[in-house]
């Protein structure tokens, strides 16, 4: 391994060995991965007979398994199988999309999502009025606890209620996460997400959330998934060619007022060959934004792969 590879391994994939007060070596990380899957797949495949050859190939970096599995293999992956996948996809077409995104990202898996018109139009309308209530959301200190509490918040907002929330059970920032690895980000990020969500719903009373509002909520979800000061989330956002708000999501000084948008790479969805003028307009927007976005995703070509 060169110095850069060593840094990436130590900072992203090497687990902390409590008894030895150090991080894993590369060989120990690879062994942990194969130990887990040999046990997990016992009796289902011939993994044991092929382990030696495969393990040596990974050690030499001739091949690589799922990097999320390499990071989480062991108790963390045993507990949440989602943590074994590099990436996932969901359409923002129902309220559950937001808390599902939070859980998937907290498991270390990247999320591609769609805020295309045909998807976000399926969301219910936000009530005409939102009322403060004494209902308290008690947040458990776990991935599923965070996701369930966010699900409850979204549900209550769609019911016209603004609840209170209790984050007292969440461990303090900097405390070690023994199962998943890294350190706790504390209570502040989740509190920020809840406040941002409430404000977004207040701005959309009496109508459905727009594509850019859905996009910003998903980005804010990703913004809070930080472990020990290290970003642990990745998003790709898909939107319509004619969506002007999404086209300009990363134009101007967006990083001052909408810092959450840094968490997503944005791409426009082409469902048919575009008119040359429309294509050039989109291309000029990409250049003028100076962010290199939106990228291009051709759904027709993807179906042929």
Looking at the structure of the chain, the number of domains it has is 2
Give the predicted TM-score (pTM) of the model: 0.89
Contacts of 48 (CB under 8 A, 6+ apart): 38, 42
Model pLDDT, residue 279 = 84
**What is the average per-residue pLDDT within 225-230?**
59
Query: Is residue 91, in this structure, part of any structural domain at all?
Result: yes
Residues 94 and 55 in one domain: no
Task: Note the pLDDT of residue 228.
Answer: 45
Q: 88 has which bridge partners? A: 111
> How far, in Å, CA of 164 to CA of 166, rounded?
7
Q: Which two tokens stand for residue 225?
A: 């998934």
* Domain shared by 169 and 288, yes or no: yes
What share of the chain has pLDDT > 90, as a percent?
Answer: 65
Asked if residue 232 and residue 146 are part of one domain, the reply reads yes
Domain that holds residue 22: 3-65
Closest CA to 183 of 192, 175, 172, 193: 175
Write the CA distances from 37 to 49, 87, 162, integer angstroms: 13, 19, 45
Q: Are both 128 and 264 inside the same structural domain?
A: yes
Q: Are strands 161-166 and 131-138 parallel, antiparallel or unpaired?
A: parallel
Q: What pLDDT score does 177 carry? A: 74
Q: Are residues 58 and 113 in the same domain?
A: no
Task: Please tell me whether residues 180 and 252 are part of one structural domain.
Answer: yes
- Indicate the DSSP class of residue 124: P
> Per the domain annotation, does 102 fall within a domain?
yes
DSSP label at residue 227:
E
**Mean pLDDT, range 135-164, rounded to an integer:** 96
Q: For the sheet with 110-114, list strands across it.
A: 87-91, 110-114, 235-240, 264-270, 295-298
Confidence grade of residue 179 (pLDDT, cut at 50, 70, 90): low
Rounded to an integer, what distance in angstroms lies between the CA atom of residue 114 and that of residue 90?
A: 7
Structure tokens at 270: 């082409």
User: What average pLDDT does this structure show over 174-188?
Assistant: 74
pLDDT at 149 over 80: yes
Same domain (yes/no): 55, 109: no
168 and 23 assigned to the same domain: no
CA 13 – CA 9 distance, rounded (Å): 5
Give pLDDT, residue 4: 95
Beta bridge partners of 236: 112, 265
In this structure, the answer to whether residues 174 and 273 fall within a common structural domain is yes
Mean pLDDT for all residues in the chain: 91
Question: Would the pLDDT of 153 be above 80?
Answer: yes
Tell me the mean pLDDT in the region 68-95.
93
The yes-or-no verdict on residue 257 having pLDDT over 50 is: yes
**Do 32 and 158 belong together in one domain?**
no
């Amino acid at each position: 391994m060169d110095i850069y590879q060593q840094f990436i391994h130590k900072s992203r994939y090497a687990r902390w060995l409590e008894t030895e007060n150090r991080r894993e070596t590369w060989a120990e990380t690879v062994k942990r991965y194969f130990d887990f899957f040999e046990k997990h797949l016992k009796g289902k495949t011939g993994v044991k007979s092929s382990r030696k050859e495969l393990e040596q190939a990974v050690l030499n970096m001739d091949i690589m398994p799922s990097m999320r599995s390499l990071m989480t293999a062991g108790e963390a992956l045993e507990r949440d199988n989602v943590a074994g996948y590099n990436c996932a996809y969901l359409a923002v077409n129902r309220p559950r999309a937001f808390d599902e995104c939070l859980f998937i990202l907290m498991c270390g898996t990247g999320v591609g999502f769609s805020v295309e018109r045909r998807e976000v139009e399926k969301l219910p309308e936000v009530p005409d009025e939102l009322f403060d209530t004494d209902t308290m959301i008690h947040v458990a200190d776990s991935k599923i606890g965070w996701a369930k509490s966010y699900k409850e918040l979204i549900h209550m907002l769609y019911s016209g209620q603004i609840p209170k929330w209790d984050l007292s059970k969440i461990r303090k920032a900097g405390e070690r996460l023994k199962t998943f690895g890294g350190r706790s980000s504390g209570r502040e990020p989740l509190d920020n997400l809840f406040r941002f969500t409430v404000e977004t719903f207040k701005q959309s009373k009496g109508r459905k959330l727009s594509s850019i509002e859905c996009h910003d909520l998903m980005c804010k979800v990703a913004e809070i998934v930080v472990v020990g000061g290290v970003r642990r989330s990745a998003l790709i956002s898909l939107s319509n060619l004619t969506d002007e708000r999404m086209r300009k999501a990363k134009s101007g000084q967006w990083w001052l007022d909408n810092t959450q948008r840094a968490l997503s790479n944005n791409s426009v969805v082409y469902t048919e060959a575009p008119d040359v003028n429309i294509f050039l307009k989109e291309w000029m927007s990409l250049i003028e934004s100076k962010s290199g976005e939106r990228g291009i995703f051709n759904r027709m070509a993807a179906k042929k792969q």
